[in-house]
Every structure is written in C-alpha cells, then in structure tokens.
Structure 1
Amino acid sequence: MPVLVWHAVSSAGPARCHQAACLIDDTLYVHGGLPSSLSSARPSNSLHSYKFALDEWTDLTSSRSPFLSHHTAVPYKKTHVLLIGGWNGKRRTSNVHTYDTVEKSWHETKRLEDFPPGAGLSSHTSTRLAADDAILVTGREGGLRTQRRSGGAFVVSERRRKFFYDDHSTSSTASRSGHTATPVGRDRVVLYGGRADNPIEYWTRVFVAAEYDVVDVSRFFEFFGKLRKDPGCRKYHVAVPGSSPEGIFVHGGETFDGRVKGATSDLIYIDFSDSGITWYTVNVNEAVRRAGHVGFVRKGAFYIFGGYDGSGKSCSDLLQLDCKRDKINGTPQSNT
C-alpha cells in the first residue's frame, strides 16, 4: 500500500527560520534568517549553498553578506541571487542586494529613492515575471519599525544598472503579511493568506517567467481528501504550483483562528482548474510542523527547508514530498 512521506534529503544545513532561499543550476542558496529560535533578536548574515548532485552544504558567508530576515530571494540572470527587503535587526528595509554565484561576491544597492519614504518591506513576496527579469513584489509595505501595514505592490526592475520600484498597487489590493504569491498557469498569480479574512486574491494578466517548475499533482491525487470548506487562513506557510489539476500546494504556517498554537503540519491542495475553487487535504504518513520555512519545486518535486517547529525551534532539515510503497512479501517496492 502506498504512503506519502516527507523524505529527509539532508539535515546538515543551517538551522534557520524566516530565511530566504532560491535555486540556481540545481544548487540551493539559503541566506539569513533567525538562528536558534523565534526569540533570536538579530538576523543572521549567513549564506549557504547545497549542491544536490554532491549532497553537500558549503558555507559562503563573508563580511559583506547583509544581516536580514523576513526577506525574499529570487534567481536573477541565471547567475545571481537577488535579495529584496527584509528586517535587518533595527528596521525594515527596501534595499536590494545581489550575490554573484560565479564571482562569489556581493553587491548592494542603497535605499532606493523611488520607494515610499518612511516604509520598508518584510514578510512580503517576490515573483519573477516574464519581461526583462522584472520581479513582482506584493504585501507588507509597512513602517520602518512599527507594525503598520498597507497593501502595496511593486515591480522591481533594473535600468541603467540600477534597480527601481514601480508602483503596481490598486485600490483593491489587500494588506497582507506572511502570505505567498504563487503562479497558476502562465498569466495568473494567486496570493494566499497573510490576513485573517479574504484568504485568496487573484492577479490576472500577470505573465510569469517561463522556466518556473511545477509539481505533477497526479502522482499524489490518491492521497487527497476533499474538504467541504476552506480550512481557514494562515501566515508564514509555503506554497508551490501544481498541475493536473492546476492549483497550489500549501504547507504549514500559523493559523489566525487559534485552532493550532504555533506551527501547523497541514498540507493542503487548492484546485483552481474549474470555475470555482476546490479544497483538498493531503494525507501524509508522518506530519511535519513548520512555519517560517521556504518551499520550492525541483525537477517536478516539492521540497521544504528550515523554518520553526511546533516548539518554536529553528530547523535545519531539507525534506522532499515523496510517495513510497510498503514492503510486499519482505521485498521493498520502488518509489512511484
């Protein structure tokens, strides 16, 4: 009988939560975050890489690496890690930092004059677009130090070797923090969570980068159970795109209704293939409680890394969602 598990790929990575990460040339780059636990006062400036082919972690931290948490990382021009915004231990920032994975060097763009004064970014999202390496940034355009929120959206692009923020928000843009923005198809981005109500927001005619990867949902559909209603909004979860049917996987996070204290282990699939929305719970053999972690798709497989567990402790494990079969007549069966 098949079972669905979170398979441990590696546990030797840095223990972090609210870090930023992205995949370039089959190497995972993990930057910053809060070490040890949620009570950590100062973000880390660490940079680590994990090469899947070698099963090897490398510490790339240098004195020029910025101290950040609650920021985002996206691959840029196939050779750079682009960091946007985040909390530096004293205030929110809109600064942009780039790490050259070939030269192994950092470059910083100072605070950009075209970003709203007195504001910064944290617990926001960054989604690569199809045009000219532009990035859609949504949510949490908050005060530099306060908890004030607003529903900002920007497009970050590079012109004349300088990065610019172009306002992309509308009057209907909802305020969100700790949410996700996930491509569904090639011209739609779905914002999920980050507030107690209005869990889902659609951005249509948003053309995303052509090379983003998706999970083949048909491999896991036998583990789906239909839900009668949405399971309630959450924050600090992860989400990745799926196809057949088209939608998004959502894992972990914290609930707003107090149903679960701290990080949850929920794995949900939201199906957008029909005219409405269909919610599914995904039955995993051994649940994993995580929030403030990162999620990504590699070669059609769903991975999560780091985050904090049910006790608020930062984790160092890299996990893959995997379908296995039990032993039959004493002989292990191959993965499906």
Structure 2
Amino acid sequence: MGDDLLDITQQAREELGTGPVVQTPWRTNSTLLPLQVNGTCLSLRVGVSKMATGSSWSWKPVVRDALFARAYHSCNVVRGKLLLFGGLKSGQPKEAPLGDVVAFDPTLLTAETVAPDGGDQRSHHDTVVLADRWLCVVGGWDGARRVSAVCCLDTERGQWERWAEGPSNDPPVGLSSHTCTKISEYELRVVGREGGLRTQRRFASIYTLRVNPATKTYWYKEEESRTASRSGHSAMLLCNAGGYQLVVFGGRDSSECEVAGRWGKGKIHVESIHAPMLTEQLSRLVSSEHGSQQAPKGLRHQSCTVVGPFAVVFGGETLTRGRDTVCNDLYIYDTRRSPPSWFHFPCADRGQKRVGHRTCLWNDKLYLVGGFGPDGKTPCPEICVLETPQ
C-alpha cells in the first residue's frame, strides 16, 4: 500500500512538472503526502473519471492531507509556497477557529506546519502578503467576537507580530466575511462585513487600511463611498484603459456588481502573476460558450482568483435555494471586451461542491484548497489543480 501511495504522489509530480527545490529556512517539519489520519489512509485519487466536474474542465487532486482539511481560512503564496492560515475544522457553531499556519510546497507536494497556534485564532478573515515576507491577517472571527485588529506572521523569522493601531485609526466595529485587497505595500482596501449595525444591513462600508511593516502599525480610514451590504462576497482588482478598478460581487441576494474603488495606473503597486498557459486555456474554454452580462445571483463564500484578463469563480453557497445550497459551478469573467461577460460552466459531480474554500494562482496553475463539501460542514483535505482543454 505504501509503495502505491508513493507512486501516486510521484505521478502527480510528473504531471505537474515539479521537482526538488531549495528548502526555506522557516521549515519546521516536512511530510511526504498523503498521510494517515486516525489510522485511516487518505489516499490520493487521480483520474478524470472520478474527479471530473464538467465536460470541458476538471479539478484534479494532487495531494490529500488532514492539515488542509479546513474552511473559511485564507491561502496566499509566499516565496513559492501556499500558506494556509486559520479557518474551521467543522460546521459546529461553537467550535473555536484554528490559529496555525500550514505550508504546501507545490514542487515537492509536501505539507508542513510552519507556525503553530500563536494565540491569534481566526476564521472568516482575509489576508494579504507584504514584501513577500509578512502574512498580514486582517479582521475575522476569533471564536468570541468579530475583530478588526491586524496581526502579521514574519515568515523569515517564523514569528507572529501583533501590530499597533496608529494615532488616527478609525476602525470598523468588527470584520468577518469581508474582503481585503492589496493596492500597494502600504495600502489595502477593505469592503463589507457580516454585521448587526442597522446601517450595515443596508450598506457596506469601504475602508482604506494603511499598514507600515517598519513601524508595525496600521490605521483605518472610512471612505465616503459605500456599496450595498455584502458579506462572503468577492473583490476583483481589474485593469482597464484608464487604470484599475475594484469590482465586488456576490455576498447578497442579487447579481449586481459594484465598483468599490478606482485608481490610476501609477497608483497600483501590485505585481501581477504571469500565467500565459492558463490564460490561453481559459480563452479557449470561453470561446465555446455564449456569455452573459449578468453575474451569478445570490452567491456567497465562493472563491475568486484573477488570471490575466479573466476572473475564475468557483463554488460557494446560493441564497436562492432553501436546501442543497452548496454549489460546484465554475464561472469565468472575461474583461477583454467592453462590457465584460460572464461564462457559466455547470457541473454534475456533487462530490465537488465547495463552500468556504480558496483558490490560489501559482506557477501557471490554479489550486483549489480546502472548504466544506456538499453537506456544508465536512472539510475537504484535498488540494486540486484546475484542468481545462489543452
């Protein structure tokens, strides 16, 4: 059995074109995948017959590990590794969030805990990476309340840092199921939240969050503009002829998209990820379908990743049904023409339903990480790669 698992892992490495890499100094422990959990082997199953989610696309599993089994977590790329932070292990309402950081090496297909629980437990939070070093955690649910505080993991030292509020800080009451988008190394844009304030049920506040890694300080400033009330939505920083705009959608029983910020081209200092092969594959995928001007209606807690001129949206839960709410549909937002178009690719495989998951782009591949499955409460321990027509 052990030899079979090693063969499967090696097969995934060969298909992904990966090999050995230089180890980073903040590694603490490393395990060849897949692993055993409670004496039960979590075998990796590779094959379109079992994992296909659509006639022209599929999520193909590459690793399976109990460390990845979580939902409402965050996932970011830092120095070539996917870092998962926080989240929930089950759908139990009283369960405390996780506070550990797990790294997935897409080259070696290994999992490791790079930072144990440092006391800052979070779910329904958001994260950005500063200077390819600090994993900056913004807001979230700590098990007792919604918070707006900022804490950071210094990945070079493997230590958590609790940053201080600046003198002009004007924070939200609390944040969860919000979005936090990086505008530069010193400026972030925060939109929406779950909330009980009366105005928050009608409107979603927009905040500019300033951060300074040198002084380890942060401060919020509420913007005059607002969007419709949203939580569990997505935010897409998209380039257009005049510069950039932050487009938000989902998180409410509506298909409306709204702009939560505009910037000139010289104001955005975010390095775009080059993904020519995946961009070409997405272009071929949408060329076979007819697009729509309408965004998905009533979708929340979906994943969304910008890939070149496209945004790839997957899963989530729908507000338009009372039962069987977890989804497994793929949507592609094509911005190459004005107005942009949405393309819908449904799926017949119930096993690939996901909510509270993440997608992450690295090395021309889109990874699907964690989330609850079809029942909305069982975490998925797999990491998969999106496959589209070659």
Scaled to the shorter chain, the TM-score interval is: 0.7 to 0.9
Partner of 1:279: 342
Partner of 2:187: 134
Partner of 1:25: 79
Tell me by how many angstroms 1:239 deviates.
0.8
Code of the residue aligned with 1:197 in structure 2: it is S
CA deviation map 1:41-83 (0-9, x unaligned)? 2111122111122211112343524111001111112111111
Q: 1:109-188 maps to which residues of 2 (within 5 A)?
A: 109=163, 114=168, 116=170, 119-130=173-184, 132-140=185-193, 142=195, 150-159=203-212, 161-185=215-239, 187-188=244-245
Aligned 8 A contact 1:264 1:291 in 2: yes
Summarize the Cα distance change of 1:115–1:16 in structure 2 as closer, same or farther, 3 Å threshold.
Answer: farther
Q: 1-side partners of 2:268 and 2:104: how far apart?
A: 26
Partner of 1:327: none
Summarize the Cα distance change of 1:156–1:171 in structure 2 as closer, same or farther, 3 Å threshold.
Answer: closer
CA deviation map 1:121-162 (0-9, x unaligned)? 1111111113x4322111117359xx9675122222234614
Q: 2-side partners of 1:117 and 1:96: how far apart?
A: 11
Summarize the Cα distance change of 1:189–1:117 in structure 2 as closer, same or farther, 3 Å threshold.
Answer: closer
Query: Number of matched residues?
Result: 320
**TM-score, scaled to structure 2:** 0.74
Partner of 1:190: 247
Percent identity reads: 25
1:204 to 254, 257, 262: 262
Q: 2-side partners of 1:168 and 1:214: how far apart?
A: 33
Code of the residue aligned with 2:189 in structure 1: it is L
1:72 equivalent to 2:126? Answer yes
Tell me by how many angstroms 1:103 deviates.
0.7
Q: 2-side partners of 1:17 and 1:272: how far apart?
A: 29
Tell me by how many angstroms 1:198 deviates.
5.2
Summarize the Cα distance change of 1:231–1:22 in structure 2 as closer, same or farther, 3 Å threshold.
Answer: closer
1:4 to 33, 40, 57: 57
Partner of 2:299: 234
Partner of 1:296: 360
Tell me by how many angstroms 1:118 deviates.
7.3
Aligned 8 A contact 2:305 2:311 in 1: yes
Q: 1-side partners of 2:108 and 2:307: how far apart?
A: 27
Tell me by how many angstroms 1:214 deviates.
5.9
Summarize the Cα distance change of 1:141–1:6 in structure 2 as closer, same or farther, 3 Å threshold.
Answer: closer
Partner of 1:220: 282
Tell me by how many angstroms 1:91 deviates.
0.5
Aligned 8 A contact 1:156 1:163 in 2: no
> Which protein has the bigger helix share?
2
1:309 equivalent to 2:373? Answer yes
1:83 equivalent to 2:137? Answer yes
Aligned 8 A contact 1:190 1:200 in 2: yes
**3-state DSSP of counterpart to 2:195:** strand
Tell me by how many angstroms 1:168 deviates.
4.5
**3-state DSSP of counterpart to 2:104:** strand
Kindly report the root-mean-square deviation, in angstroms, between the aligned alpha carbons of the 2 structures: 2.8
Aligned 8 A contact 1:21 1:74 in 2: no
Q: 1-side partners of 2:204 and 2:167: how far apart?
A: 20
Summarize the Cα distance change of 1:17–1:214 in structure 2 as closer, same or farther, 3 Å threshold.
Answer: farther
Q: 2-side partners of 1:269 and 1:319: how far apart?
A: 18
Code of the residue aligned with 2:211 in structure 1: it is E
Summarize the Cα distance change of 1:142–1:247 in structure 2 as closer, same or farther, 3 Å threshold.
Answer: same
Q: 2-side partners of 1:305 and 1:154: how far apart?
A: 28
**3-state DSSP of counterpart to 1:220:** helix
- Residue range with higher mean Cα deviation, 91-100 or 205-214: 205-214
Q: 2-side partners of 1:158 and 1:222: how far apart?
A: 40
Q: 1-side partners of 2:101 and 2:310: how far apart?
A: 32
Q: Which runs of 5+ in 2 are unaligned?
A: 1-54
Aligned 8 A contact 2:115 2:158 in 1: no
> Which protein has the bigger strand share?
1
Tell me by how many angstroms 1:199 deviates.
2.6
Summarize the Cα distance change of 1:90–1:259 in structure 2 as closer, same or farther, 3 Å threshold.
Answer: closer
